Amino acid sequence: MDVVHSVDRMREISSSHRRAGETVALVPTMGALHAGHLALVRRAGSVASRVVVSIFVNPSQFGPEEDLASYPRDLQSDLAALEPLGVDHVFNPDASEVYPQGYQTRVRVTEVENHLCGLSRPVHFSGVATVVLKLFNMCLPDYAIFGMKDYQQVRVIERMVQDLNVGVEIVRHPTVRESDGLAMSSRNRYLTSDQRKRAPAIYATLKRLKNDVMTGLRDAAVILERGRRELTEAGLDLEYLNVCDAGTLDDVARVEDTVLIAAAVRLGAARLIDNVLVNPFEEEDA
């Protein structure tokens, strides 16, 4: 597994794999790797012959009040976690090469970003779309793997790829959870032990709401009322709970097709998000 810092070298490596008839899968990360990331890496190995993992804490997706400075960074332990997984290249560019002096271009997916987390994090998704497009141009992957916990991020990227004719296939990977249901996240490490005990209530509530829909509940106002009550009773400070169209992320009044039920809560220093996809008209979900 080699660690590549230079953009030119990364492009050369991927180009030569592709010229040799191989396929390349990229797993974009900001490091602080946990078992959820490692599942994405294994998935990458199952779809392509070469696996690139990028590790780059992207400043443009953090707002001024957010945790850019304190975001956990530990390249050596990330490399140790990746080593046994057969990763071919770890791409770890320097911020000065990703955003050189004079940099002034941003990608915005104007409607999908304007919901859920985008409402309280106004620069976040344009920062994500911008860096992901740059990582695609730097790593030249055939596939890129993204986890469903960040469902809005997945939709932003899918929409960008479609709108800008980007030749990368986006692979969705199911959320990886702790044994008590909490979605794995690099930010879970901010939780105190008391907060950690309360956090699984997020997914427990989402699962109950999903079950309500699967057994006939269709009215979004009733779904939301139940969910808000449960999350508040569990001692969680709710930022949002929404029932929305799984493609556009527009709120729906009734469940008539596949919906996303998504929540964000604040728990001490952590802001946790989770979601379930629900389609009561087909026995298929995520």
- Which stretches of the chain bind ligand PAF, using CB under 6 A? 28-30, 58, 61, 128, 131-132, 150, 153
DSSP 138-190: HH--SEEEEEGGGHHHHHHHHHHHHHTT---EEEEEPPPB-TTSPBP-GGGGG
CA 285 distance to own-chain centroid: 18
**Which residue shows structure tokens 């106002």?**
221
DSSP tally for the chain: helices H, then strands E: 10, 9
Sheet holding 237-245, edge to edge: 237-245, 259-267, 270-278
The residue (of 81 and 243) whose beta carbon lies closer to ligand PAF is: 81
Residue 64 vs 216, nearer CB to ligand PAF = 64
Q: How far apart are CA 114 and CA 127, in angstroms?
A: 14
CA distance 51 to 145: 11
Q: Which is nearer to ligand PAF, 40 or 206 (CB)?
A: 40
Closest to ligand PAF by CB, 38 vs 131, is 131
* Shortest Cβ 240–ligand PAF spacing (Å): 19
Phi, psi of 39 (to 5 degrees): -65, -35
How near is the Cβ of 28 to ligand PAF at its closest, in Å? 4
Least gap, CB of 70 to ligand PAF (angstroms): 16
Spatial distance between the Cα atoms of 282 and 118, rounded to a whole number of angstroms: 29
**Residue 37 C-beta: closest distance to ligand PAF, Å:** 8
Q: Residue 30 or residue 38: which is nearer to ligand PAF going by CB? A: 30
Q: Which of 17, 34, 37, 173 is catalytic?
A: 37
In the complex, the smallest distance separating the C-beta of residue 227 from ligand PAF, rounded to whole angstroms, is 25
With respect to ligand PAF, which residue has the nearer C-beta, 29 or 242? 29
User: What is the closest distance, in whole angstroms, from the C-beta atom of residue 238 to ligand PAF in the complex?
Assistant: 23
Cα–Cα distances (Å) from 49 to 18, 72, 91, 211, in that order, read 10, 30, 17, 39
Active site residue 124: no
Supply φ then ψ for residue 191, to 5 degrees: -80, 140
DSSP lists the bridge partners of residue 244 as: 251, 260
Cβ contacts of 104 within 8 Å, gap of 6 or more: none
Q: Active-site positions?
A: 37
